[in-house]
Amino acid sequence: MIGISIFLLALILLLFGFPVAFTFAGVGILFVFLFADPSQLAQIPYRIYSNMGDNGDGIVLMAIPLFIFMGLILERTKLAEQLLESMGRLFGSVRGGLAVSTILVGALLAASTGVVGASVVAMGLISMPVMLRYGYSKALSAGTICAAGTLGQLIPPSIVLIILGDVLNIPVGDLFKAAIKPGLVLIGCYIAYIVIFCMIKPEAAPPIPVEDENVSKTTVIKEALVAVIPPLLLILVVLGSIFFGVATPTESSALGCIGAVFLALIYRKFTFSMLWESTMGTVKITAMVFAVILGASIFSMGFAYTGGEEEVAELLLNLPGEKWGFLIFTMLLIMFLGFFLDYIEISYIVLPIIYIVVETLQINTIWFAILVAMNLQTSFLTPPFGFALFYLRGVAPKEIKTSDIYFGVLPFIAIQIAVVLSILVFPEMYGLTPDAPKLW
C-alpha cells in the first residue's frame, strides 16, 4: 500500500494548490524518512548532480532551454501573426478555410517553436476574433485553436520527445523521425474533421465573402509563400541536421537558435531588448522545467527506496492479457493522470516505473514512446486541467464561455484517442516497429 499511498498523498496536495516541484520532492523525502532508512536521503545531491549531466545523460536535456529560446525568439518576430494572416487569406474563401489554416499554422509553429503556450495564445489573439467576426461557431473556433496549439507536443522538435528520450534511454533523433508520420496523420485527421463538420453544418464555418478580398489570388499565394518559406527553411535545417547525422539534437537546437535570430533580422524585429526578454523568458521556463524534473527525481527515489517500485512492477506484470493488458492499462493510466498532472511529472515519475515492465515484456521502446507522447498531448486538451484550455481562456474574447472551449475540444480529443488506438493496433502502418504485440 505504500506505493499507492505516496501517489495519493502527492495528488491530494496538488489539488490543494501546493507547488508541483516542492510537493513531489517533499513527499518523496517524507516517505523515505518514515518507511525506509533516512540515511538514504544523502543520495539526493548525487541524483541532482546526475540529472544535470554528470553521467552524460543530462547533455540531452541541454536541448530544452535552447529550443525554448528558439521558440521565444520566433514568437517575438510575430511569426504566428504573419502566417495566420497569409494562410487565412489563402483559404478564407473556402467553407471552414479559416479553421483549416489555423491547423496548418499550428503545425508550422509546432515544428518551428514547439512552445504550446505561445502558439495557443498567439492564435487565440489573432485567429479567434477573425473567425468570430465571420460567424464561425464558438466551439469550433475554440477547439481548433487549442488542438492546433498542442501539436508542438508531438511534432519535432518537441520538448516532450526530448524528455521521453532521456527517461526511456532512446536517441532523441530516432524519436523525432518516428514522430513525423503520426504527427502528419493527426494533422490530416484534424483537417478532415473540420471539412466534414462544415459539410454537415455549413452555418458553423461560413466562407469569407469574395468581395472582402481586394487583391488577386496570385498576390495572396505569393504573400503566403513569403510568410511560410523562412520558418520552413529553419525547420528543414534543424530537423535535417539531425536526420542526416550532421548534428546531435543538442547541437541542432543551438543551430535553431542562430536561425531564429537570423529570421528576426530578416523580419526586422531584432532588438537587444527583444533578445533580453527572450533570454529571461528562457531562464524562467527552464528553471520551472528543471525544478519539476528534480522534484520528480526525488519522488522517484522515495518511491523506489520504500519498495513501491517492486510492488507496482509486480502488479503490472500480472495484469491479464500480458503485453496487451499492460499497454491498455498504461495508456488509460497516463490519460487519467493527464487530467491532473503535467507531462513532465508523468514522464519522470510514472515512466521510470513502467519502463522496468517495458523491458521485461520486451516491448519496442520507440513505439511505446510515441504512444506515450500522443497520450501526453491529449492531456493538454482534457478538461478540467488541460493547459491549452487555460491558455485560451486567458486571451479569448468575453463572448467565449468556458463551456464553449470544453465542448469545442471534445471532438479533437476523440480524434487523438482514435490515432493512439491506430498506432497501438497498426504500428506497421506508421513504420514504427516490427515486433509490436499483435492483437490477432
pLDDT tens-digit readout, 377-397: 887 787 766 778 877 877 777
For residue 168, the surrounding DSSP H or E stretch is: helix 159-168
pLDDT value at position 228?
Answer: 76
**Distance (Å) of CA 147 to CA 52, 319, 377, 414:** 33, 33, 9, 11
Residue 439, pLDDT above cutoff 50: no
Q: What is the mean pLDDT of the chain?
A: 80
CA-angle at 71, arms to 258 and 386, nearest 5°:
165
DSSP 276-329: HHHHHHHHHHHHHHHHHHHHHHHHHHHHHHTTHHHHHHHHHHTSTTHHHHHHHH
pLDDT tens-digit readout, 21-56: 888 888 888 888 887 777 878 877 877 776 665 444
Q: Are 197 and 136 in contact (CB under 8 A)?
A: no
Q: Tell me how far apart the alpha carbons of residues 391 and 119 are, in angstroms, rounded to a whole number.
A: 9
pLDDT value at position 414?
Answer: 92
Q: Tell me how far apart the alpha carbons of residues 96 and 192 are, in angstroms, rounded to a whole number.
A: 11
Q: Where are the domains of the chain?
A: 2-430
Q: Tell me how far apart the alpha carbons of residues 126 and 224 are, in angstroms, rounded to a whole number.
A: 16
pLDDT value at position 187?
Answer: 93
Q: What are phi and psi of 280, to 5 degrees?
A: -65, -40
What is the DSSP secondary structure assignment for residue 348, as one 8-state letter?
Answer: I
pLDDT value at position 412?
Answer: 92
> Dihedral (C-alpha) 193, 199, 201, 204: value to the nearest 10 degrees?
70
pLDDT tens-digit readout, 207-266: 776 554 455 566 666 666 777 788 878 888 888 888 887 888 888 888 888 988 988 888
